[in-house]
């Protein structure tokens, strides 16, 4: 074989390899597209929609209380309030933050204290979590979230 024949044969092999490589890439690309189109619908591919946000909502579960017949009392800082998310959507606080362009935390630590007015007999001073209540859905599956932002203190009758 002459040098020119060797070059032609080498070039022919190189072209065939290039064609096979392109066919291989096309196969991988087609497989990837099919997997994306007909995939299992994992949470990362799902779309999170925020239906409504109610700001400054008082959660009904008290986190602390104090009593002081005829005087004042103080509920101290340091209490921790956790976020709650319901539904089987796989949504977490990070996904809600991204969707709402917000910066909520998984837990909120109370940094202030509440001091009651003078309490009468049978009255109690109660601290409640306050936060934003979010209604959302992921591909038709509805969920809710309570995202704490602070506390709310008020006097209640303890009868």
pLDDT digits over 59-99, tens only?
999 999 999 999 999 999 889 999 999 987 889 999 999 99
3-state secondary structure (DSSP) of residue 1: coil
Q: Which helix (H) or strand (E) holds 6?
A: helix 3-37
pLDDT in tens, 93-109: 999 999 999 999 999 99
Q: Would you say the pTM of this structure is higher than 0.75?
A: no
Please report the beta strands in 7-140, taking only residues with DSSP state E, as ranges in sequence order.
48-58, 64-66, 74-75, 80-82, 84-86, 107-109, 114-115, 123-138
3-state secondary structure (DSSP) of residue 40: coil
What residue ranges do the domains of the chain occupy?
A: 1-39, 43-157
Predicted pLDDT of residue 6: 53
Predicted pLDDT of residue 43: 44
- What is the C-alpha to C-alpha distance for residues 5 and 118, in angstroms, rounded to an integer? 105
Whether 34 shows a pLDDT value over 80: the answer reads no
Matching residue, tokens 């291989």: 24
Domain range 43-157, CATH architecture: Beta Complex (2.170)
């Amino acid at each position: 074989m002459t040098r020119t024949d060797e070059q032609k044969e080498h070039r022919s092999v190189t072209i065939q390899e290039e064609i096979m490589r392109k066919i291989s890439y096309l196969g991988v690309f087609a497989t990837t597209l099919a997997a994306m189109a007909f995939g299992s619908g994992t949470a990362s591919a799902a779309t999170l929609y925020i239906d409504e946000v109610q700001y400054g909502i008082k959660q009904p579960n008290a986190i602390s209380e104090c009593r002081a017949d005829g005087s004042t009392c103080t509920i101290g800082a340091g209490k921790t309030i956790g976020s709650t998310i319901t539904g089987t959507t796989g949504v977490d606080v990070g996904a809600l933050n991204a969707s709402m362009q917000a910066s909520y935390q998984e837990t909120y630590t109370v940094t202030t204290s509440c001091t009651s007015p003078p309490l009468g007999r049978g009255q109690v001073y109660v601290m409640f979590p306050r936060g934003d209540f979010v209604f959302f859905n992921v591909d038709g599956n509805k969920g809710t979230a309570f995202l704490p932002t602070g506390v709310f203190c008020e006097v209640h009758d303890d009868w």
